[in-house]
Amino acid sequence: QASATGGQLTDVLERTADDVRNTNIVKKDIAATLILYEIFVLFASVVGTPFLFAVAYKLVEVFEKIAPKAGGGLVGGTGGGLGGVFSAFASIKVSGAVISSSDFFWFTMPTIFITALISSFIISVIRTGTKSQGMKYFPFLLAGAYLVYWLALTVISSLFSSFG
């Protein structure tokens, strides 16, 4: 009778050990997934956003330089015999830029600031489960984002300077 109850105890202990191993595997998977989320948020806020803003800034700057040379004339044609397919585009006039490059620059500064702030809170929630620790990541995210923005502006401007 004692060996019969002892045999059942062995099965229970083996199942418990399997459950503990499975729990550890699930915890490692969750940790890996959270690290990927953290890397994505870091990349988006420190590299992606500032780089795209730098490209957009240069685009606005190029449009600012091109618009006066275009002279406000008509763009497009009369449709080219295609039954008026392009007639809607025939009356488009090129005018000056709607937003200046300096206005866009001053738009990007607080936007990068806010993006870094929110990202620091998101990273804090991912790491610790609470947003209260987010401010300790903020200065590093902000400095990195502004550094990438400045570097991207410098590199893109040097690339476009060779085009005249």
For the stretch 11-48, pLDDT in tens is: 778 889 999 999 999 999 998 999 999 999 999 999 99
What DSSP designation does 98 have? S
Of 85, 67, 64, residue with least CA distance to 76 = 85
The region of weakest confidence among 7-16, 30-39, 78-87, 130-139 is 78-87
In this predicted structure, the answer to whether residue 101 has a pLDDT above a threshold of 60 is yes
What DSSP designation does 93 have? E
| Helix, coil or strand: residue 129 | coil
pLDDT of 7: 58
Of 98, 135, 110, residue with least CA distance to 53 = 110
Predicted TM-score (pTM) of the model is 0.71
In this predicted structure, the answer to whether residue 107 has a pLDDT above a threshold of 80 is yes
Find residue 30's DSSP bridge partners.
none
Token pair listed for 19: 């459950």
pLDDT of 3: 60
For the stretch 123-133, pLDDT in tens is: 999 888 888 88
Whole-number Å distance between alpha carbons of 35 and 27: 12
Whole-number Å distance between alpha carbons of 121 and 40: 14
User: Using 50, 70 and 90 to split pLDDT, how confident is the model at 113?
Assistant: very high
Residues in the chain: 164
